[in-house]
């Protein structure tokens, strides 16, 4: 079976060749089978965002290879990779256009990756019905708010719509970069539950960075922990399911020789 994602000996440097050189990703090897939902955790500066930026193409890779569904995308631009990747960031403002309506935002997401001459803001009846069905999946009553300006919605509602937009085209890979970190705990749990539901319904291969250790254990079938640019822990299935937060912290200490240092870490 073709891997949904394959990273081979991925290296990333900043300020290479200067006194400020930092070797941030140190030969990451990672294979994700289709449909795997992987939580990515790690201490401050471990390289989590750099890893997602490298996969998405927003950081050119210094060494190594990235394949998505068997296709080598190592040297493809962000725009070219966008047909394969859905991405949600921490800031609910980033994923949507505030002055456009819910329907217009979703319509733009539907057009993503298509040729420009397909662009049209005329939203047909069939498409509207499809978007309403998709919004109904969120269970937030947003299917009745197609004409509401996105900017008027709450952060949680916006993030739920951003998530839907990122998954609308069933991307080969979904990248979630602390996508619930800016939300209050209750809304964060709603969006996390929605995430798990969308990922399961659409069988999406997903990499999710989180600082919430409990979420990392509760959601997804696999967990990797980065430490200083390397994968220190990689657990899946039953092994992951039986871990507790203290187990995880102890495992980290055992593998890395030190306590997890993360000023934003959430243990519960």
Provide, rounded to whole angstroms, the least separation between the CB of residue 15 and ligand ATP. Answer: 6
CA distances from 225 to 8, 61, 245, 252 (A): 17, 21, 13, 8
179 binds ligand ATP (CB under 6 A): no
Give the sign of the dihedral formed by CA 160, CA 165, CA 170, CA 172: negative
Q: How many residues contact ligand ATP, by CB under 6 A? A: 12
Among 9, 14, 60, 247, binds ligand ATP (CB under 6 A): 14
49 binds ligand ATP (CB under 6 A): yes
Q: Which is nearer to ligand ATP, 46 or 192 (CB)?
A: 46
Considering only 41-49, 94-102, 238-246, 248-256, which stretch makes contact with ligand ATP by CB under 6 A? 41-49
Structure token digits, residue 50: 């750099």
Interior CA angle at 178 toward 76 and 114, to 5°?
35
Annotate each residue in 105-144 with x if it binds ligand ATP (CB under 6 A) or - if it does not, as one string.
----------------------------------------
Among 3, 6, 13, 22, binds ligand ATP (CB under 6 A): 22
Provide, rounded to whole angstroms, the least separation between the CB of residue 75 and ligand ATP. Answer: 20
45 binds ligand ATP (CB under 6 A): yes
3-state secondary structure of 51: helix
Which residue's entry shows tokens 């990248």? Answer: 175
3-state secondary structure of 79: helix
- Please, are residues 60 and 25 in contact by the beta-carbon 8 Å criterion? no
DSSP-derived letter for residue 97 is: -
Among 30, 42, 56, 101, binds ligand ATP (CB under 6 A): 42
Closest by Cα among 183, 251, 243 to 216: 243
CA distances from 82 to 73, 150, 156 (A): 11, 22, 24
Which residue's entry shows tokens 């399961």? Answer: 200
Provide, rounded to whole angstroms, the least separation between the CB of residue 141 and ligand ATP. Answer: 34
Provide, rounded to whole angstroms, the least separation between the CB of residue 76 and ligand ATP. Answer: 20
Residues that bind ligand ATP (CB under 6 A): 14-15, 22, 24, 42, 44-50
């Amino acid at each position: 079976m073709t891997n949904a994602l394959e990273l081979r000996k991925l290296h990333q440097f900043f300020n290479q060749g200067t006194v400020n050189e930092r070797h941030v990703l140190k030969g990451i090897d990672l294979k994700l089978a289709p449909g795997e939902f992987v939580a990515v955790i790690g201490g401050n500066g471990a390289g989590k965002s750099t890893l997602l930026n490298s996969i998405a193409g927003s950081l050119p890779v210094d060494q190594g290879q990235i394949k998505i569904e068997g296709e080598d995308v190592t040297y493809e631009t962000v725009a070219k990779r966008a047909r394969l990747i859905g991405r949600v960031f921490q800031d609910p403002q980033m994923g949507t256009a505030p002055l456009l309506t819910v329907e217009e935002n979703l319509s733009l997401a539907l057009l993503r990756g298509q040729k420009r001459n397909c662009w049209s803001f005329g939203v047909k009846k069939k498409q509207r019905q499809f978007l309403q069905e998709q919004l109904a999946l969120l269970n937030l009553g947003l299917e009745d708010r197609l004409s509401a300006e996105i900017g008027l919605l709450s952060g949680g509602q916006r993030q739920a719509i951003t998530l839907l937009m990122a998954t609308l085209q069933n991307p080969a890979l979904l990248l979630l970069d602390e996508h619930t970190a800016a939300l209050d705990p209750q809304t964060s749990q709603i969006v996390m539950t929605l995430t798990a539901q969308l990922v399961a319904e659409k069988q999406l291969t997903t990499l999710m960075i989180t600082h919430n250790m409990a979420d990392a254990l509760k959601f997804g079938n696999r967990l990797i922990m980065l430490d200083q640019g390397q994968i220190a822990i990689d657990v899946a299935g039953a092994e992951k399911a039986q871990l507790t937060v203290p187990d995880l912290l102890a495992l980290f200490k055992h593998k890395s020789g030190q306590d997890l240092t993360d000023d934003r870490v959430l243990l519960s």
